[in-house]
């Protein structure tokens, strides 16, 4: 990846709610993992997820052809002599290269004009105990990510500083908001927010949660939204705990408690999920 590296000094950081590849409104998500670090979910648009999958699997047919070519070369080599085996390899290589090229071209053709590239537009380089490190293909997304996490940035490289400055200047000339503004409609009721949380994938749900917390001020309604969000975050673990014997159930909740603290959840949501798991741990 050619992108600029961005480091944030926290486990918690803000994720711009737009596709990191083409900038469109996200309707899908992508999970990034680095080594043993837990996967992080990022918003993505479905179209870009499709071209990433096509791009990442583009090497499979050519690798399979190469394997067949090698097997054929061994068989021919044993039957007719090593020179003929070498000839089979010599014929296979251009075919393999042509297949790889064609597959990559096909994946590339799925991209939109605005796409940062045919492959993954971002990489998570892991948490080293001090910072989470990322790389993004799109300069716009890099700048937005850096701006949204301004206070948490560490080891800012000259390249990143330059990029953010350019972006800021460009924004002064053509005013665009730091955060993409979604269409403003009638304000949602707490129940409508809860419905929206339930209907979304992980990234969209967390984004909706933050927006609900900005929009709803009544403490009781906020508590209800937090509780609903926590139940949704915890749902997978609770489902897995069903029917597990006591000791295994406790192990599951202990691990879930570690995971939720490492996850990129809004603070109030994290606290609620922790309370939920702790209660279950006590009663298991
Ligand atoms: Zn996209
Ligand atoms: Zn794309």
Give yes or no: residues 103 and 213 share one domain: no
What DSSP element (H or E) covers 206?
helix 202-215
Q: What is the whole-number distance in angstroms between the Cα of residue 47 and the centre of ligand 2? A: 7
Give yes or no: residues 93 and 163 share one domain: yes
Give yes or no: residues 206 and 161 share one domain: no
pLDDT value at 184 more than 80: no
pLDDT value at 183 more than 60: no
Residue 32 bridge partners (DSSP): 40
Regarding pTM above 0.75, the answer is no
pLDDT at 132: 87
Q: What is the whole-number distance in angstroms between the Cα of residue 263 and the centre of ligand 2? A: 26
Give yes or no: residues 123 and 165 share one domain: yes
Residue 132 bridge partners (DSSP): 8, 127
Give yes or no: residues 132 and 82 share one domain: yes
Give yes or no: residues 154 and 252 share one domain: no
Give yes or no: residues 274 and 163 share one domain: no
pLDDT at 33: 78
Q: What is the whole-number distance in angstroms between the Cα of residue 156 and the centre of ligand 2? A: 26
Domain membership of residue 208 as a residue range: 190-283
pLDDT value at 32 more than 90: no
Give yes or no: residues 238 and 128 share one domain: no
Q: What is the whole-number distance in angstroms between the Cα of residue 10 and the centre of ligand 1? A: 26
Mean pLDDT of the region 253-259 = 91
Give yes or no: residues 31 and 122 share one domain: yes
- Domains identified in the chain, total number: 2
pLDDT band at residue 259 under the 50/70/90 scheme: confident
**Strands, E assignment, the chain:** 4-8, 28-32, 40-44, 122-127, 132-136, 153-154
Give yes or no: residues 88 and 141 share one domain: yes
Say which ligand is closest to the CA of 111: 2
Residue 31 bridge partners (DSSP): 41
pLDDT at 92: 92
Give yes or no: residues 41 and 171 share one domain: yes
Is the Cβ–Cβ distance between 261 and 274 less than 8 Å? yes
């Amino acid at each position: 990846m050619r992108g600029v590296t961005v480091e944030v000094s926290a486990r918690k950081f803000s994720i711009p709610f737009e596709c990191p590849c083409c900038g469109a409104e996200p309707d899908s998500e992508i999970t990034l993992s680095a080594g043993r670090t837990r996967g992080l979910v990022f918003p993505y648009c479905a179209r870009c997820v499709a071209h990433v999958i096509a791009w990442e699997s583009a090497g499979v047919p050519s690798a399979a052809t190469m394997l067949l070519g090698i097997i054929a070369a061994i068989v021919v080599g044993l039957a007719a002599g090593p020179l003929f085996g070498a000839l089979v390899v010599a014929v296979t290589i251009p075919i393999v290269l042509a297949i790889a090229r064609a597959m990559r071209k096909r994946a590339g053709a799925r991209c939109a004009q605005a796409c940062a590239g045919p492959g993954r537009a971002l990489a998570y380089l892991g948490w080293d105990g001090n910072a989470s490190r990322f790389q993004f293909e799109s300069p716009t997304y890099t700048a937005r990510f850096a701006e949204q996490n301004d206070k948490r940035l560490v080891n800012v490289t000259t390249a990143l500083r330059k990029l953010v400055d350019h972006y800021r200047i460009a924004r002064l000339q053509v005013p665009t908001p730091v955060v993409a503004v979604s269409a403003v409609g009638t304000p949602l009721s707490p129940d409508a927010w809860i419905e929206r949380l339930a209907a979304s994938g992980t990234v969209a749900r967390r984004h909706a949660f933050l927006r609900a917390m900005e929009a709803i001020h009544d403490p009781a309604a906020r508590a209800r939204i937090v509780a609903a969000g926590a139940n949704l975050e915890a749902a997978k673990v609770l489902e897995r705990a069903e029917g597990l014997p006591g000791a295994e159930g406790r192990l599951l909740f202990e691990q879930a408690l570690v995971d939720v603290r490492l996850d990129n959840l809004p603070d109030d949501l994290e606290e609620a999920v922790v309370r939920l798991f702790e209660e279950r741990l006590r009663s298991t």
